[in-house]
Structure 1
Amino acid sequence: MNSVQLLRGQLRPVLMGLLLSVACIATVRADDGLALTSIDQVPDGVEVRGKQIAAYTWDDQQGKNLLVLAEQVNERDDDGTQTAFVYAAQYLIDGKRPKRIWMLYDDVQRCQFDAALRFDRTATRVTDLNGDGLTQTIVGYSLTCTSDVSPNEFKLIMRVGKSQKFRLRGVDRYGAAWWDEEAGALRGMPLPKDCSVAAQQALVSQYKEQGTELPLPGCYRDEDDFAKAPDAYLPYMRKHWFALMQKQDSEWSQAQTQPPEPTEDEETVP
């Protein structure tokens, strides 16, 4: 089915237990995607590694699905290094015991600086791009091991069924611009609108101070994963990637913009 349903009384007994244990249920609609039901607690039999940050349910032709997202940054070891990881898994929960369809685990191990892996929850989507009632699940997250303010590695991943995985991997917009005190304005390479190698190199030629390493902040490396994917997948993922990067770019730029100096009338006298 193409619609996502809320948890309701006609569900099977195992889901009734879930309903009673849920502290908060809310429907979240993502642009260009299906509406997801957000839940605070997952049913017995669903594994969560790390700290759960989100869980969603929806219905499709396979039945009732559950997506759980978790992440963790560990305390530093005795040698001063740090480890962090993200975890995601999709389950079918129509039977007596939840059945895991796929699992994602990624980590930064023994980082000598600051380790960080974080899901971008605005990247989470469930779509039915083929219109056949079988959904695609999309998650995105950043990862880094660094001691400075610089762009992070970013991965946008689409999972379809048990084994199909399509990825766009590149660099996000964190730290991509900075405030120039003398100019009184932001500096830095603008967000690319095309991640082809030719387009990135053309942008580099205009902003030589940024260097020549590709991918540029806000771009992915290649589209190789989609060579044999259905036609609808890549255009959607491209659009989704650039929307996420535009949001990051806007938020980061606003954070760097200094507020105006107060006038004499606005200044407070102690």
Structure 2
Amino acid sequence: MNSVQLLRGQLRPALMGLLMAVACVTTVRADDTVALTLVDQVPEGVEVRGKQVAAYTWDDRQGKNLLVLAEQVSEREDDGTQSAFVYAAQYLLDGDHPKRMWMLYDDVQHCQFDAALRFDMAATKVTDLTGDGITQATVGYSRTCTSDVSPNEFKLIMHVGKSQKYRLRGVDRVGASWWDEEAGALRGMPLPKDCSIAAQQALVSQYKEQGTELPLPGCYGDEKDFAKAPDSYLAFMRQHWFALMHKQDTEWGQSQTQPQPEDPTGDDESAP
């Protein structure tokens, strides 16, 4: 029995046959309660804009769900500008035709530098935080139009059903620190552990950074979207945000401290 058949929902024969044919290659745990099954190919009737980077199925009280993620970066236009976008959508695989629950689309248009939008695959999670069998799908991605290596805009978005959406928006940790050769250590403001305005301002004051704007790299701006949401939603999103920023911070720091690779050609300029 394959991993699709192990999920609890029931599919109509047409969709069941199709999903069995597209080969579910991996099953990963999103959290303690919801399993995601990674699929190579989505069913007919599911729209994918750009290049598909991942697609997952899971089961909840509504039935069998599908989440698809896609990205695209365009070639430069004649004027030298570049555009990019990300696309995500959740479908309910109910009956003969998939039904779209929600769609996410964000873009950078006519960027004069380097345009980039990329999903952080570690951000993709499906949860049942209220224990009622209705799941929440969360995705995260970075967005930038820059000519250097610097922190990007970052969005962590949770969708619940067709119309509920909760967001944390801020700045990621890419390029937030640098390697000081003389000191033999990383320099830069540390990763914030509290994104309240007071905590961010206190960190700026402690490190005496001049002209630093909020939110700081690794922080979000506010929690206004969660004013009327269940407490468990905000608790999860806070924890998830900081876990993602810690992962980014660690990976970025390692990339700065690792020695540069030797010249693969082995050329010696001093040789005759």
Partner secondary structure for residue 167 of structure 2: strand
Q: TM-score, normalised by structure 1?
A: 0.91
After superposition, give the CA deviation of every residue in 1:77-118 in whole Å (9 maximum; x if it has no partner).
111100000000000012110000000000000000000000
Compare 127-136 and 251-260 and name the one that shifted more. 251-260
Query: How many Å separate the matches in 1 of 2:224 and 2:3?
Result: 37
- Note if contact 2:11-2:64 (Cα within 8 Å) is conserved in structure 1: no
Which of structure 1's runs of 4+ aligned residues deviate more than 4 A?
A: none
Change (3 A) 1:7 1:213: same
- Note if contact 1:201-1:212 (Cα within 8 Å) is conserved in structure 2: no
Unaligned 5+ segments in structure 2 are: 263-270
**Alignment-derived partner of residue 6 in structure 1:** 3
1:42 aligns with 2:42: yes
- Alpha-carbon distance, 1:18 to partner: 2.1
Change (3 A) 1:47 1:257: same
- Note if contact 1:128-1:135 (Cα within 8 Å) is conserved in structure 2: yes
| Aligned residue runs from structure 1 range 228-247, under 5 A | 228-247=228-247
**Alignment-derived partner of residue 87 in structure 1:** 87
| Aligned residue runs from structure 1 range 118-267, under 5 A | 118-209=118-209, 211-259=211-259
- Alpha-carbon distance, 1:210 to partner: 5.6
- Note if contact 1:204-1:211 (Cα within 8 Å) is conserved in structure 2: no
- Alpha-carbon distance, 1:182 to partner: 1.3
Change (3 A) 1:210 1:41: farther
Query: How many Å separate the matches in 1 of 2:168 and 2:209?
Result: 26
Query: How many Å separate the matches in 2 of 1:16 and 1:60?
Result: 16
Compare 24-33 and 238-247 and name the one that shifted more. 24-33
Partner secondary structure for residue 232 of structure 1: helix
- Alpha-carbon distance, 1:12 to partner: 2.3
- Alpha-carbon distance, 1:15 to partner: 2.3
Letter in 2 for 1:126: V
**Alignment-derived partner of residue 62 in structure 2:** 62
Letter in 2 for 1:7: V
**Alignment-derived partner of residue 265 in structure 2:** none
- Alpha-carbon distance, 1:29 to partner: 0.8
- Note if contact 1:51-1:72 (Cα within 8 Å) is conserved in structure 2: yes
Identity over the aligned pairs, expressed in percent?
80
Q: How many residue pairs align between the two structures? A: 259
Query: How many Å separate the matches in 2 of 1:81 and 1:75?
Result: 9
Query: How many Å separate the matches in 2 of 1:210 and 1:85?
Result: 33
- Alpha-carbon distance, 1:231 to partner: 1.4
After superposition, give the CA deviation of every residue in 1:205-240 in whole Å (9 maximum; x if it has no partner).
112236330000000000000001011100110000
- Alpha-carbon distance, 1:24 to partner: 4.2
- Note if contact 2:3-2:24 (Cα within 8 Å) is conserved in structure 1: no
Letter in 2 for 1:232: S
Change (3 A) 1:260 1:115: closer
Partner secondary structure for residue 16 of structure 1: helix
**Alignment-derived partner of residue 268 in structure 2:** none
Letter in 1 for 2:158: M
Q: TM-score, normalised by structure 2?
A: 0.91
**Alignment-derived partner of residue 19 in structure 1:** 19
Change (3 A) 1:210 1:60: farther
Partner secondary structure for residue 3 of structure 2: coil
**Alignment-derived partner of residue 72 in structure 1:** 72
Change (3 A) 1:18 1:203: same
Query: How many Å separate the matches in 1 of 2:19 and 2:223?
Result: 41
Unaligned 5+ segments in structure 1 are: 263-269
Change (3 A) 1:256 1:62: same
Query: How many Å separate the matches in 2 of 1:40 and 1:86?
Result: 18
**Alignment-derived partner of residue 100 in structure 2:** 100
